[in-house]
Structure 1
Amino acid sequence: MPRFLHISDIHLGYDRYDSKERTKDFFLALQDVIRKYAIAAQVDFVVIAGDLFEHRSLQPNILNQAKVCFQELHEAGIPTIAIEGNHDNRPYGTKTSWLRYLADWYGLILLEPGDTALGEPVYEPWNPDEKRGGYIDLDCGVRVIGSQWYGASAPKAIAQLAEAIHALPAPTAHTIMLFHHGLEGQIARYQGALRYTDLLPLKQAGVEYLALGHIHKNYEEQGWIFNPGSLEANNIDETTYKRGAYLVEINAAGIQAELKQDYCQRPALRLRLTTRGQESLEELEESAIALVQQAIQSRKINPNDQPMVELRIEGQVGFDRLELDTRKLQQTLKQLSNALIFLLKYDVDSVEYASPLSDEASRLQIEQEIFTDLLAANNVYKKRAPNLAQGLIELKDLQLQGRSEEELYTFAESLMNQSVE
């Protein structure tokens, strides 16, 4: 009964939030998964269905992270088999990559179909001396077939791959295939996803377990297509995705794939504060602080874990939206929660008032209503909006009469003093 670990979209070297600790999270997740669900579980092999790395160009420390993990698997006698994803595939026109380097020097089995444009067959068996090949037959009775990143040409490539699989010698027992592409209907705003019918030729060619990657959300389809999702969330939106690593056993009952999620991951929480337009600037800031404090008290946030936190403020405000110092508030909330990364999303509109005016309204009435609406949109002035509006009209009339700046200033000062009495 062969057992294996299926992982994908590891993204070593992830650097979106410009945080060394956050970059390290991706290594710690991979290392913990390997130790718990490959080495301790004594699997026969590990498969990586693309995107081991975040970038094609690597810093030395990121390459060393991969070496450390593969060395642990090698010392445990567990083969590691991988394919290229869209993040770590070879640049066009080149013959090498960091995955190829790891295959040449550190025991990674990188499965690559042949280049038919150069007259190479699609699939050659893995040659341990040359460290090249498109498929490998393992001692545990499993044939693992590779592929590469095909992008928009994936449907056409699948037909060619299925034909090539049909032509291979019969496998000893079971066939699994690694394929880095997404299935439609799993996430929004994903162009170029495959339809289920696009993948059927692979099943008809004998693939029992299709190990997918690319989409960072876990899903399964029809008992033979499996996508574990990424090991770590690549952004705050992905923290809501179900994702992890598949520990798989093939036995008399068929494929038993269990998604494992208990491993080292950065805690994350998304909070939302909806404003109604009645709050003052100070009240809004106090509400944001109180919301984070409540999350800490309810243990949704543990400051000792240095979580990732997002607070989204949305709705309407009764003041100029630019009056809120979002950078200062973000820093306050980051310190309060001890978050490694605190994201403050401020998406509000200033309250707008528009009193209905009849077609017969006089100029004075129009001025009165316009001034009143502008003042009522601000929490500081809205309670005295009608009186202040009348005062502004009188101030305008004084200016038109040619009154001195000193007189205008004195009138305006008197008006403002009345507004705060």
Structure 2
Amino acid sequence: MQFAHLADTHMGYRQYGLSERENDFFEVFDQAIEEIVGERPDFAIHSGDLFEYSRPPTRALLTAQKGILRLKEEKIPIYAIAGNHDVVMRKNALPPQILFKDFGLKLISPRNPYYLEGDVFIGGAPYTSKYHSKQLVERLEGIEKSSVDFDKRILVLHQGIDRYIPYEYELKIGDVPQSFNYCAFGHIHERVVDDFGEGKLAYPGSTEIWRSNEVEGYRKNGKGFYLVDISGDVPEIENIDLKLPREFVKETIKYSHLQDELSRINQYISNLPRKPILMVTVEGGNFSRSEVYETLNQALSDSCLALRSNYRPTTVEDEKNPFEDGKEALDIKKMIEHNLKDFNNQQVNELATGLLRELSDGDLKTAEDMVRNFYEELYDH
């Protein structure tokens, strides 16, 4: 028996405020659906963050509906959970996935913690914040008890695990039940496959590049979903790669060769089928950041969809080893946590560092959602 495992499609995300990037996420989702249909699995699992926002734009809803109906026409059931982006984390909130119940999507939720697909047990829970991990662990214990009479058991979660993201996790690896044949996880955007308990624990990663720090992982491992065969004693997992609509081009160039490097970059991106996202770091030499910024924009802005620039000029301080005197390099996250220590509140610390991360990445909408979720959760308890 085979199934498709995908997650983190984040439809409705208008990266860098660009409608073209929003369209890219839709295009990749459509491609994923067609690849699933072509593989003819017995069913599909989506492990959360189907959408970028809890109130998705109309086109995101229509794209999801079209894809789910396509699977229904091909008699491929789809099971899903809500991720942290899908819901406002407050009591009794409903994720947008509930809209597709009549189109064939089976939503795994506290009300319906598991389903049976033939003789396969598929159970799980929606995203739960770190502050309610105790309730999640109790819920997992109940799901595990419900699964004991079945030979094939799949656990579906959308959580960060301390083994993979030690500073931003919601669940410890020791709290994940080990009796399942396959743990179908979402939330981490890089592909992960590990031996775990009686089977495998896997993250298929996001289907598109959601943040620029995913570029290296994409080049190494691709983006897409998994095709999982659970017929044998141990699941067999195959990468199904998707072709992303446009390239993310990352370049580090020397200021002393600026013009030659800009010509080379322009030559490369002029041969691409679509305008790329271009990230350029200029390093070495003493230069004016504003002047180099203007030079980059004049040379490259017309040939790329978005230009993100960074600068590392050579200064007296740069030439010294920052660890020579035993002092640690500047850590903004630690500085924030230190200055917020009087609050004695880990939630406030995580809100502040999370806002730093999102605002540094230019993602104002996600930052707004974080603040709203923080206060709605605060006043709901």
**TM-score, normalising length: structure 2:** 0.74
Counterpart residue identity of residue 169, structure 2: G
Indicate the residue corresponding to 2:201 in structure 1.
Answer: 225
1:313 aligns with 2:282: yes
**Displacement of 1:221:** 1.8
Equivalent residues of 1:137, 1:171 under 8 A apart: no
| Cα deviation digits, residues 164-216 of structure 1 (max 9, x gap) | 1244265443110111112235358x4235443232xx11xx31111111110
Indicate the residue corresponding to 1:107 in structure 2.
Answer: 104
Indicate the residue corresponding to 2:9 in structure 1.
Answer: 10
Q: Distance in 2 between matches of 1:46 and 1:334?
A: 41
Cα separation, partners in 2 of 1:210 and 1:313, compared to 1, 3 Å? same
User: Runs (4+) of structure 1 moved beyond 6 Å?
Assistant: none
What secondary structure is seen at the aligned counterpart in 1 of 2:143? Answer: helix
Q: Number of matched residues?
A: 311
Indicate the residue corresponding to 2:338 in structure 1.
Answer: none
1:191 aligns with 2:168: yes
Cα separation, partners in 2 of 1:94 and 1:198, compared to 1, 3 Å? closer
Give ranges in structure 1 of 5+ residues lacking alignment: 115-132, 353-421
Cα separation, partners in 2 of 1:351 and 1:329, compared to 1, 3 Å? farther
1:212 aligns with 2:192: no
**Displacement of 1:57:** 1.8
Aligned pairs (5 A) from 1:115-154: 133-139=112-118, 141-153=119-131
Cα separation, partners in 2 of 1:167 and 1:303, compared to 1, 3 Å? closer
Indicate the residue corresponding to 2:79 in structure 1.
Answer: 81
Indicate the residue corresponding to 1:268 in structure 2.
Answer: 248
What secondary structure is seen at the aligned counterpart in 2 of 1:168? Answer: helix
What secondary structure is seen at the aligned counterpart in 2 of 1:330? Answer: helix
Cα separation, partners in 2 of 1:253 and 1:266, compared to 1, 3 Å? farther
Give ranges in structure 2 of 5+ residues lacking alignment: 318-381
**Displacement of 1:343:** 1.8
Q: Distance in 1 between matches of 2:9 and 2:88?
A: 17
Q: Distance in 1 between matches of 2:298 and 2:31?
A: 32
Indicate the residue corresponding to 1:255 in structure 2.
Answer: 235
Whichever of the two has the greater Rg, that structure is 1
What secondary structure is seen at the aligned counterpart in 1 of 2:313? Answer: strand
**Displacement of 1:302:** 3.5
Equivalent residues of 1:143, 1:171 under 8 A apart: no
Equivalent residues of 2:159, 2:187 under 8 A apart: yes
Aligned pairs (5 A) from 1:269-284: 269-275=249-255, 279=256, 284=258
Counterpart residue identity of residue 137, structure 1: L
Cα separation, partners in 2 of 1:185 and 1:167, compared to 1, 3 Å? closer
Q: Distance in 2 between matches of 1:35 and 1:213?
A: 21
Counterpart residue identity of residue 28, structure 2: A
Q: Answer with 146-155 or 174-183: which moved more.
A: 146-155
1:239 aligns with 2:215: yes
Equivalent residues of 1:303, 1:339 under 8 A apart: no
Compute the RMSD of aligned alpha carbons.
2.5
Aligned match for 1:40, one of 31, 38, 41: 38
Indicate the residue corresponding to 1:410 in structure 2.
Answer: none
Cα separation, partners in 2 of 1:170 and 1:180, compared to 1, 3 Å? same
| Cα deviation digits, residues 57-109 of structure 1 (max 9, x gap) | 22211111111111111111111111011100244134433122222x43211
